[in-house]
Amino acid sequence: MPLFKYRRLHRRKHVKSAPTGAETTSMQDELSRLSQTVAESANKKAFETEMKSFLSLFTRYLAEKASSKELVWKHIKSPSKDQIVPYHQITTETDPESLRKLAVLKVNGGLGTSMGMTGTKSALEVKNNMTFLDLTVKQIEHLNTTHNLDVPLILMTSFNTHEDTLRIIKKYADHELRITTFNQSRYPRIVRESMLPCPKTADDDKSAWYPPGHGDLYNALFQSGVLDQLLADGKEYLFVSNSDNLGAVVNQRILQHMIDSQAEFLMEVTDKTKADVKGGTLIDYDGSIRLLEIAQVPPEHTEDFKSVRKFKIFNTNNLWINLRALKRVMDNGGMELEIIINPKITEKGEHVIQLETAAGAAIKHFRNAHGINVPRSRFLPVKSCSDLLLIKSDIYSIENGQLVISPERMFSTTPVIKLGDHFKKIQQFQKRFKKIPTIIELDHLTVTGDVYFGRNVTLRGTVIVVANEGQRIDIPDGCVLENRLLSGNLNMIEL
């Protein structure tokens, strides 16, 4: 008898029966076989729980695929004024006692592979020899000591980062905060051709598995027991953000607005720029607020989605959640978040798919949920070495773990920085800068090709450095470039 009997697919109360096609049955059989490869009984129970959640997601994916269920574009509207509240309109009067009910969660499952990292991304040194995690700890420790609080830090790890994170956080043992970690789910990648799981055993290589996106936050928080523990500790509100967003600091005004407006869920959004056209956005869909990701958009409407005319804001993934409301939702059957299909090609050249969900999509499950249009300063992610150069520069200083724009900067906006492929990996980035240039007066920097920067270089205005193929440019120590185009033949042109 298969381990995953069909009747066990029903996700409590509100989920209707799922289709029983050949693909579902085959997946059930394979997951049952995988479960038999788990040796220890305690691990087996946890593994089976994860596989049931995966099977539920997979079955829903097949059902939606069979029914060609997709968004009806004409039903999508820009959010109404009451669905997105400008930050400057929310309360300025705050009660420090509200902070006693707060916990902070960082999504800490990323490896930073796009920047050439192999370990936990949050362990990358980003400023003054401090890592993402160092800065977060410093922020919350300052909050706790200033107001005599016990705001805990929760880290949601993935199977890629869990052991590394446990090792790293030992150095915070003497700090004024409690750190709790829990591991998000581990799902099997699906072979596109056969629609069967990649792994052959539960201990198969990490490349056969994937963490199913930050939308797994709610299920993992619930299944791990961390949600119940937070409620038992008197915590009522959870501030969630990505660990690489250095602008995501606790904001008392937003917390107070959440309490005053009785909102069960808040999403921080900010105005789009050309760099943000692919970011998820809030929409009005048949009168209810929803998150729309680019992966859900029909190909013929991709350009409409990227336009700032209809969709002026995007999701920062800074989320505020009422924990009692979350407990209610999970007890009543959980969430069916929109499925994001993420195709991948393995190192062996095999085409696979990953079924993922986004944390912000939960907004539709909560009462009085809405967006807050926050200043851009609350969205400072480090996704590339171009972002890292900006953070490491003299544009920013650190106050109690928080990045602050230097008062010497004449403009509130930060410069646009575009580093080419030679700077893509962190090792190359570090090798090509003897020291981070002074850019306090920089507006725009583009660097292409084999370029190296010496010490005490100053960049002002618009600077473009282009090394042609086969050529190398070394910017000498102490060099000042202001409104200059420097090309491969070492000609300088004033811009």
The reply to whether 354 sits in an annotated binding site is no
Bridge partners of residue 454, in order along the sequence? none
CA-CA distance, 473 to 451, in Å (whole number)? 5
Is 306 annotated in a binding site? The answer is no
Which parts of 323-408 fold into alpha helices (H)? Answer: 323-331, 385-392
Consult the annotation and say whether 301 binds a ligand: no
Whole-angstrom distance, CA of residue 450 vs CA of residue 157: 36
DSSP 8-state secondary structure symbol assigned to residue 175: S
Which among 364, 273, 270, 386 has a CA at the least distance from the CA of 317? 270
The catalytic residue among 312, 327, 383, 424 is 383
Strand 416-419 with 370-373, pairing = unpaired
Is residue 383 part of the annotated active site? The answer reads yes
Three-class SS state of 345: strand
Q: Is the dihedral of CA 373, 267, 290, 216 positive or negative?
A: positive
Task: Please state, in angstroms and rounded to a whole number, the distance separating the CA atoms of residues 96 and 68.
Answer: 50
Written as one letter, the residue type at 120 is: T
Q: What pairs with residue 105 in β-bridges? A: 154, 240
Q: Which of 332, 320, 336 is nearest to 368 (CA)?
A: 320
Strands 265-271 and 472-475: unpaired
3-state secondary structure 455-492: CCCEEEEEEEEECCCCCEEEECCCCEEEEEEECCCCCE
Neighbouring C-beta atoms of residue 438, cutoff 10 Å: 16
Annotated binding residue at 394?
A: no
383 marked as part of a ligand binding site? yes
- Asked whether residue 184 is marked as a ligand-binding residue, the answer is yes
Active site residues: 383
Summarize the annotated binding site for substrate as residue ranges.
214
Binding residues for UTP: 121, 184, 213, 244, 383
Binding residue positions: 121, 184, 213-214, 244, 383
